[in-house]
Amino acid sequence: MTDAAAANPAAPQDWRTQPHALVERDGVRYTLLGTAHVSSSSVAAVRAAIDSDAFDTIAVELDPQRLQSLTDPDALARLDLVQVIRSGKTALFAANLGLAAYQRRLAEQLGIEPGAELKAAALEARGRGLTLHLIDRDVGLTFRRTSQRLGWWGRAKLAGGLVAALFGDEEVGDAEIEKLKQGDLLEASFGEFAADNPALYDTVIAERDRYMAARLRESATAASGAREVLAVVGAGHLQGLARHLREDTQAPATVRAELETLRQKSPIPWFTLALAAFVLGGFAWGFWHGGVDVGADLLLYWVLLTGSLGAVGCAAAGGHPLSILTAFIASPVTPLHPALASGTLSALVEAWVRKPTYADFMALRNDVASVRGWWRNRVARVLLNFFLTSLGTAIGVWLGGARMLGKLLA
């Protein structure tokens, strides 16, 4: 491998000065072009490299979902929001909105769409009939693996960073922009939480270096007809990707399978079972030892507290009266059932009663950039309904459990 200083002498001068590296392996020469995701010069460099006609294959640091969001603005309008909620992907959808909101703030501030050079590489490859490979791991899978690597407090901080990205409207600082030019867009989207966090760095940066190297080896082989491959990646991945592409000996399919695997959850919902046993046991103890008055008091307190706080959360999200009623009815019951969640049921009713329109989906990225827009946009309001109802129910569970525990120990 040689670095930019020893670049391919046949490479055009207008892009050879950009950070890049060459790796030759298995009869294929890979030119890794490191770009800044918020730089017009990177867009020009990508186009110049492809214009050189030196490459028969283009690889890009994108997955199909991210490429679609860059090239098909109407894709969001075709989303089935009810299916997203029913399949348990509401939090992931919100995380993607946080990423989109952060990118939009950058675009408005800098006058260039983040990832424009990746989009240009994909479109240029398609337009010229070149083989195109999307080598990045699915962004949703990266979010889920990151969440699994973090503890409870880490996940809470991560969620806080995404919420800040969703609601924040202040300008991105100069230091953050400079870091982004040499780093990674996903890492920067997590804000300060990304700093000094080994688990996040490993899943967002190091794992993806290995994954993209494996995808390059797997898809761009001499047997496939590839001889000269241009891989367009963020500058933050350049060194790691080059190292793995040169040194890794494990089969690419094995590496990819390892890095696409999620840690299996326990088939037994121990926390829910323990909570149900505690709550139902507390009711039984109240009726058995304290009589009808004590048992009824515990039961009524639990129902009113969890139901009311769940309904308050739904109302705070601007929920429809039927959604608020659903939250009140569901909140006392769903914490005791592993397959139900009050926020899910309330959000489903909200999406059914106030079905989001095409205009809501099209305006979503703009609306989530302001606090007021979250209550104005029906899609965003469904998400608020989910989170605030769930939060209200959770607070009710802890307060109701504390009251019950006090009665048991009295």
Surface-to-core class of residue 46, CB atoms within 10 Å of its CB (0-12 exposed, 13-18 middle, 19+ buried): buried
Q: List the beta bridge partners of residue 234.
A: 35
Q: List the beta bridge partners of residue 34.
A: 233
Kindly state the helix (H) or strand (E) to which residue 323 belongs, with its residue range.
Answer: helix 321-330
Please state, in angstroms and rounded to a whole number, the distance separating the CA atoms of residues 352 and 346: 10
The helix/strand count (H/E) of the chain reads as 21, 5
Residue 4 confidence (pLDDT): 39
Cβ(61)–Cβ(236) below 8 Å? no
Please state, in angstroms and rounded to a whole number, the distance separating the CA atoms of residues 269 and 274: 9
Cβ(12)–Cβ(3) below 8 Å? no
Rounded to an integer, the average pLDDT of 257-278 is 81
Taking the CA atoms of the chain, what radius of gyration do you get in angstroms?
A: 25
Cβ(208)–Cβ(183) below 8 Å? no
Kindly state the helix (H) or strand (E) to which residue 203 belongs, with its residue range.
Answer: none
SS3 breakdown of the chain: % helix, strand, coil, rounded to 5? 70, 5, 25
Task: Tell whether the model's pLDDT for residue 13 goes beyond 60.
Answer: no
**Where are the alpha helices (H) located in 72-151, listed in sequence order?**
81-86, 90-110, 116-128, 139-149
Place 16 in a pLDDT band, splitting at 50, 70 and 90: confident
Place 249 in a pLDDT band, splitting at 50, 70 and 90: very high
- Taking alpha carbons only, the member of 197, 188, 187 closest to residue 154 is 197
- Taking alpha carbons only, the member of 196, 240, 200, 187 closest to residue 216 is 240
- Cα→Cα distances 326→80, 125, 194, 316, 342, Å: 21, 50, 38, 14, 8
Token look-up 């690419």 returns 252
Task: Tell whether the model's pLDDT for residue 232 goes beyond 70.
Answer: yes
Place 159 in a pLDDT band, splitting at 50, 70 and 90: low
DSSP state for residue 29 in the 8-state scheme:
E
Please state, in angstroms and rounded to a whole number, the distance separating the CA atoms of residues 141 and 155: 15
Angle at which helix 321-330 crosses helix 291-316, to 10 degrees, equals 140
Backbone dihedral angles phi then psi of residue 28, each to the nearest 5 degrees: -120, 135
Residue 176 confidence (pLDDT): 58
Please state, in angstroms and rounded to a whole number, the distance separating the CA atoms of residues 377 and 361: 8
52 alpha-carbon distance from chain centroid: 36
Structure confidence by residue, pLDDT tens digits, 355-410: 998 888 878 877 877 788 889 999 999 999 999 999 999 999 999 888 888 877 76
Residue 153 confidence (pLDDT): 67
- Cα→Cα distances 314→221, 357, 371, Å: 54, 21, 17
Rounded to an integer, the average pLDDT of 12-26 is 79
Side-by-side strand order, sheet with 131-134: 20-25, 28-35, 228-234, 57-60, 131-134
More confident position, 115 or 342: 342
Identify residue 357 by its one-letter amino acid code: T
Residue 166 confidence (pLDDT): 55
Surface-to-core class of residue 218, CB atoms within 10 Å of its CB (0-12 exposed, 13-18 middle, 19+ buried): middle
Task: Tell whether the model's pLDDT for residue 152 goes beyond 70.
Answer: no
More confident position, 83 or 393: 393
Token readout for 353 is 């009663």
Please state, in angstroms and rounded to a whole number, the distance separating the CA atoms of residues 229 and 20: 13
More confident position, 63 or 292: 63
Structure confidence by residue, pLDDT tens digits, 306-333: 999 999 999 999 999 999 999 999 999 9
Average pLDDT for the chain:
82
Residue 1 confidence (pLDDT): 40
More confident position, 291 or 207: 207
Place 202 in a pLDDT band, splitting at 50, 70 and 90: confident
Cβ(50)–Cβ(120) below 8 Å? no
Q: To 5 degrees, how large is the angle CA 333–CA 338–CA 342?
A: 45
Residue 143 confidence (pLDDT): 82
Surface-to-core class of residue 115, CB atoms within 10 Å of its CB (0-12 exposed, 13-18 middle, 19+ buried): buried
HSE (CB half, 13 Å, CA atoms) of 300? 7
Task: Tell whether the model's pLDDT for residue 194 goes beyond 70.
Answer: no
